[in-house]
Amino acid sequence: MRTPEDAPARLADLQRAMQLIAEAVDGLPEECRDLAGNALLNVAAEAVARDVGTAEAGRIFSRLADHLGAGRQPPMSGAVSLSGFDA
């Protein structure tokens, strides 16, 4: 079980993963780059649902939709807290 003490290390790991993914997207063939966001969303949705279950994944993505609907976009350099599972 994840504890609050794990949060700083998990956030650092999350930021590193985001950076590695961004670099990998930059390395894709030009004709694939515009599809990367959609592909990553599909991979992420599947991974989140597998990690926390479909009901919690639905709640997490609903909170993300609320952020995006309000004009707040998660920064590439950080993370938006959507649940107790992500940091």
Helix/strand number for the chain, H first, E second:
4, 0
**Which pTM was predicted?**
0.66
In this structure, is residue 64 part of a structural domain?
A: yes
Residues 10 and 86: their CA atoms lie apart, in Å, by 8
In this structure, is residue 82 part of a structural domain?
A: no
Q: What is the DSSP letter of 82?
A: -
In this structure, is residue 18 part of a structural domain?
A: yes
Instruction: Say how many domains are in the chain.
Output: 1
pLDDT in tens, 39-76: 999 999 999 999 999 999 999 999 888 888 988 877 76
In this structure, is residue 83 part of a structural domain?
A: no
In this structure, is residue 81 part of a structural domain?
A: no
Q: What is the pLDDT of residue 78?
A: 67
Q: What is the DSSP letter of 71?
A: T
Domain limits at 23?
4-69
| Average pLDDT over the chain, rounded to an integer | 83
Q: What is the pLDDT of residue 39?
A: 92
For residue 68, the number of C-alpha atoms closer than 13 Å in the C-beta half-sphere is 6
